[in-house]
């Protein structure tokens, strides 16, 4: 890779406590230091982004590499595709996934298909950041979980980081990927703090086992892991030990890890914040059924718009009690395999 690293670049501790937003900003800073082709474009990126995920980058790299744009998602995505085809590695900021719908043609019909339609002569190595999930008190047009749409789209990688470490390591991996990456950070995770090891590499397509157990396999991603982990604490107190897997990358997804766990436990519970109907959990469930014959259950949101009033918004949330009860019911049922 080409480099514009100054000999005396700032040294930071290899392991430090960072928020989800700070971890992403550090990852992007390191990739911009290492590769002059990495640029950022989008609304409000110059002032750090609406969640602080670009804090300090325009001051460090200038307005030619951290580019504030007009309010037009189609123009932003289209410009990013053109930059990528011209040899740059753009980070395309969509603010939230709900707004990215205005740039879908450029992503779906140009970025995703270019490598295929031109026989590999063109590559579109862009990262489209589009925060997803329920955003507290932000109503139906700002609280959607649309990751299954993009997982259905041939030609793109889909990433859903759940921790500050994931958001650092996976963003760096996404920026080094040669294909378009739909990078879906959660709108309510930006202030989550944890230790981040800057030296830790995390390849795309590799899940993580967060807890180990033999009673059942539980698979989730993004912010829903917090509720799943809390549910696993409840279940552990009842003697139910769970294999909890954070998928991290939805496409490609870690079939080997998930199916291996399902074959061992004989039971699979898929949990996601997105609407259950046609959610990505259905793909995992179908694959596990075909490969292992395990007993399967799914937990997802009802097929309703997310309400603004707290009592309505709560109806779209998948909570700890709901997850724990689904796991209990799955464990009470006899295994399907012989």
Known catalytic residue at 142: yes
The 8-class DSSP code of residue 242 comes to: E
Distance CA(39)–CA(84), nearest Å, equals 10
Distance CA(275)–CA(318), nearest Å, equals 10
Distance CA(261)–CA(217), nearest Å, equals 6
Residue recorded with tokens 């960072």: 18
Tokens of 320: 């700890």
Tokens of 126: 């862009």
Q: ∠ CA 93-94-98 to the nearest 5 degrees?
A: 160
Which of these, 80, 83, 33, 38, lies nearest to 174 by C-alpha position? 38
The 8-class DSSP code of residue 140 comes to: G
- Strand (E) or helix (H) holding 196: strand 193-197
Which residues belong to the active site? 142
């Amino acid at each position: 890779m080409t480099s514009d690293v100054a000999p005396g670049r700032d040294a930071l501790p290899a392991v430090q406590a960072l928020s989800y937003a700070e971890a992403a900003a550090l990852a992007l800073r390191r990739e911009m230091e290492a590769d002059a082709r990495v640029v950022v474009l989008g609304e409000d990126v110059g002032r750090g982004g609406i969640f602080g995920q670009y804090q300090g980058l325009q001051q460090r790299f200038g307005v030619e590499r951290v580019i504030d744009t007009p309010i037009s998602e189609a123009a932003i995505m289209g410009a990013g595709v053109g930059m990528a085809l011209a040899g740059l590695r753009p980070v395309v900021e969509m603010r939230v996934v709900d707004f990215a719908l205005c740039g879908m043609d450029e992503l779906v019909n140009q970025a995703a298909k270019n490598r295929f339609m031109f026989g590999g002569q063109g590559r579109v190595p862009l990262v489209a950041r589009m925060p997803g999930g329920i955003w507290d008190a932000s109503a139906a047009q700002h609280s959607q979980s649309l990751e299954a749409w993009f997982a259905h789209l041939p030609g793109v990688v889909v990433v859903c980081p759940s921790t500050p470490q994931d958001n650092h390591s996976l963003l760096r991996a996404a920026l080094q990927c040669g294909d378009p990456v739909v990078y879906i950070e959660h709108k309510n995770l930006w202030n989550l703090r944890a230790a981040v090891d800057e030296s830790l590499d995390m390849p795309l397509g590799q899940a993580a086992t967060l807890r180990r157990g033999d009673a059942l396999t539980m698979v989730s991603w993004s912010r829903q892991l917090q509720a799943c982990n809390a549910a696993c604490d409840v279940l552990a107190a009842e003697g139910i030990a769970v294999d909890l897997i954070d998928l991290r990358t939805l496409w490609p997804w870690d079939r080997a890890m998930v199916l291996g766990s399902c074959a061992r436990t004989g039971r699979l519970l898929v949990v996601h914040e997105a609407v259950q109907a046609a959610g990505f959990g259905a793909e995992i469930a179908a694959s596990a059924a075909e490969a292992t014959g395990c007993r399967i259950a799914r937990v997802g949101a009802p097929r309703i718009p997310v309400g603004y009033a707290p009592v309505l918004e709560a109806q779209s949330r998948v909570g700890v009690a709901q997850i724990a009860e689904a796991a209990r019911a799955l464990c009470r049922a006899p295994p399907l395999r012989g």
